[in-house]
A and B are shown apart, each in its own frame.
Chain A
C-alpha cells in the first residue's frame, strides 16, 4: 500500500510536468489551431535559460526563475513572428513541419552552446522531504504539483473571465470574423505564444531538480505530453492537466507493476485506445463536420 501511494505521488508529479507541457500545446491549439511540436523544446530552452541565470550567473532562484520566464516569453513571441505567422492559414501539416524544424534547430543550437551534459539547478526546496507517518514525499515533487495547480487555475480564469481570454477563444473559432470584430488577431496570437513559452519555462525549471536538464529532454517529455493532451481533449485546459496526471500515473504504475519495457509504451497504448474509442478526449468538445 505504501509503495502504491509512493508511486502514485511520483506519478502525479511527473504527470504534472507532462500536464504543463500539454498545457502549452492546448493554449496554442485553442488560440490558433496550430499544434506546436516544439513545445517540449521551448521547455528545454527555458530550463537552460534558468540554469544560466541561477547556476552560472549566481542569481537568486526566484529572480532567475522570473528572468527565464520573461526571456522565454519574448522568445516565444519571436518564434511566432518568424516561423508561425507567415504560414498561419495554410494547412495544418505545414505548420506541424515548421514547428518540428524549429524543434530540431533549438535542440542542436542548445547542444552547441551548453553542451550535451546533464545540468542541475539548485532550488530552495531541493533536499527537504515531507513525512506523513511512514510516507516520505520530496519537496521538489510537491512543488511541481502545487505550481501546476496554481498555473492551471490562473490560466483557466484568464481564458474564461478576461476580455483578452475571450478574444483568444474568438480568434481560435474564426480568425477572420474575430478580426472583423476588432480583435487584434496578430497580437493575440503573439501573446498566446508568449504565454505558452512562459508556461513551458515554468515546467522546465520545476522539472530540473527531478530529471536533469539536457538538450534532448524536451523531445522525450514533449512526446509524452501528446498522449496527455489527446487524453484530456486537445482544446481543454483542465483536460491537459488531468490527462497529464493520468499519463504520469499510468507510466509510473506500469513501471512498478508490469514487466520491464511497459513503462515507455504504456502511455502510447493508452493514447491509441483513447483515439479509437473517444477521439475527442475526456474533456473535449465533439466537432460536427460541415460540408
Chain B
C-alpha cells in the first residue's frame, strides 16, 4: 500500500495527492473525449443526461452531503434554470449570458429558500422543500405570460459564438462534459476552502460548529445558494437537451430521482454524485435490454435444465409479460432504494472504497471499519 508523506498543509489539500490520480483521471478524461466517436448516438445521448444529472448531483451533494441539509425540492431549481433559459432565449440573448443568468437567478432563489430553512431541521426541512417544489410547479403552470402555462415552452437550438450546437451532436456533449468538469473542480476547490470546511462542520454538529465560531446561518444560506445555482446551470443544459419544457417535467418525482443519485452514489463524496448519475441514467437502457433479451435468456436456462419446449415457451412468455409490464421501472426504483439503504448505506463509492481497502490491507481488512453506529435516543433532536 502507498503511504503518503505530507509535510505541510499544501500537501494535505492537493487536488491530486499522488501521480496515480493523474493517470487514472487522465485515462477517464481521454475515454470521455473519444466517447462520441466510438459509442452509438443513443449512448452518447444518455451520457449527456449523465453529465446533467451529475451536475445536479454535485449541487445536491454540496447541500445534502456536505452541509447536511436534505432537499426534496431540487427539481424546482432545475425548472427555474430551464425556464430562465427558455424565456431569455426569446429575446435573442446569447447563450453565455442566459447560461450565467439562469445560474444566478436560481442561486438567488436558493438563498431565499435558505432563509426560511434556517429554522428547520430533519423531517421539517424535507417537507418544506417538497412544498417549495409544489409551489414552483404551480407557479410555472399558472404564470402564463412568462411560462406559457401547461402548454410548455419550446427551446431553440443552442447557438454558441454564431455556431449552432444541436442537442444530439457531439459538440453539445462536450459542452455538458465541460460544465460538469468545471463544476466538479469548482466544488473541490470550494470544499478545501474555509467555506467548505464550515459546511462539513455544520453537517457533523451544528452546535459544535457554532461554538467554534462558524456563522451557521450565513453558511447554510450560502450552501443553499451555491447548490441551487449549480442546479440552475444544469437546468439550462437540461432545457436545451430536451428542447421542450413544461411544468409537469419538474415534479417531486424528479427531485426524488436527484436524491436517489446521491443516495446510490454515496453521500459525502463527489465521486458518488457522478456514479449515482451514471447508475440512474443507465437504468433505462438496461431495462430496454431486459425487455428484449431477458425472456430468451431465462427460457434458454430453463431448457438447459430439462424443461421441454412447451414449458420453455411458457416461461418465455411469462417473463416477457413481467418484463414489459407498465410501471416496472417504479418497482425497480423502489427495490433499489430500499436495498441500498439497507445493505449499502455508503453507496457505490462506499463499496469501491471498501474493495480498495480490502486489497490494501489484505489479509487484515475488518468489516467493522465501515460499520455505522446506531443511536436509539432522539438523536436528530439532540444534535
Which residues of A pack against B, CB within 8 Å?
33, 35, 83, 86-98, 100-109, 111-112, 116, 173-177, 179, 215, 223, 226-227, 230, 234, 260-261, 264-265, 268-269, 271-272, 275-276, 279, 287, 289-291
Contacts and interface: CB of A to CB of B under 8 A. Distances in A.
A182 B381 CA distance: 25
Given A93-B70, A104-B331, A271-B131, A223 B252 contact: yes
B382 A33 contact: no
Interface of B: 70, 116, 119-120, 122-124, 126-128, 130-132, 134-135, 138, 141-142, 207, 252, 256, 259, 263, 325-331, 333-338, 341-342, 345, 372, 374-383
Nearest to A226: B127
B342 A86 contact: yes
Given A96-B70, A271-B127, A287-B378, 15 more contacts: A91-B379, A92-B123, A92-B380, A93-B122, A98-B342, A101-B336, A105-B338, A108-B328, A173-B378, A261-B142, A265-B138, A275-B124, A289-B382, A289-B383, A290-B382
Contacts of B256: 100
| Chain A interface, >50% SS class | helix
What 8 A-B pairs are tightest by C-beta distance, nearest first? A105-B334, A101-B337, A108-B330, A89-B374, A104-B334, A175-B376, A268-B131, A108-B327
A275 B121 CA distance: 11
A173 B335 CA distance: 31
Contacts of B252: 223
Given A176-B376, A234-B123, A261-B138, A102 B331 contact: no
A175 B377 CA distance: 6
Contacts of B330: 104-105, 107-108, 111
B338 to A, nearest CB: 4
Given A94-B345, A272-B132, A264 B138 contact: yes
A276 B338 contact: no
B378 A174 contact: yes
Nearest to B339: A101
B333 A101 contact: yes
Nearest to A281: B124
Nearest to B143: A261
A275 B259 contact: no
A87 B344 CA distance: 11
A98 B341 contact: yes
A88 B377 CA distance: 11
Most buried by B among A102, A103, A112, A174: A112
Given A101-B341, A111-B327, A268 B135 contact: yes
A173 B377 CA distance: 7
Nearest to B132: A272
Contacts of B134: 223, 264-265, 268
A114 to B, nearest CB: 11
Nearest to B134: A268
A231 B330 CA distance: 31
Given A97-B263, A226-B127, A261-B141, A105 B335 contact: yes
Contacts of A264: 134, 138
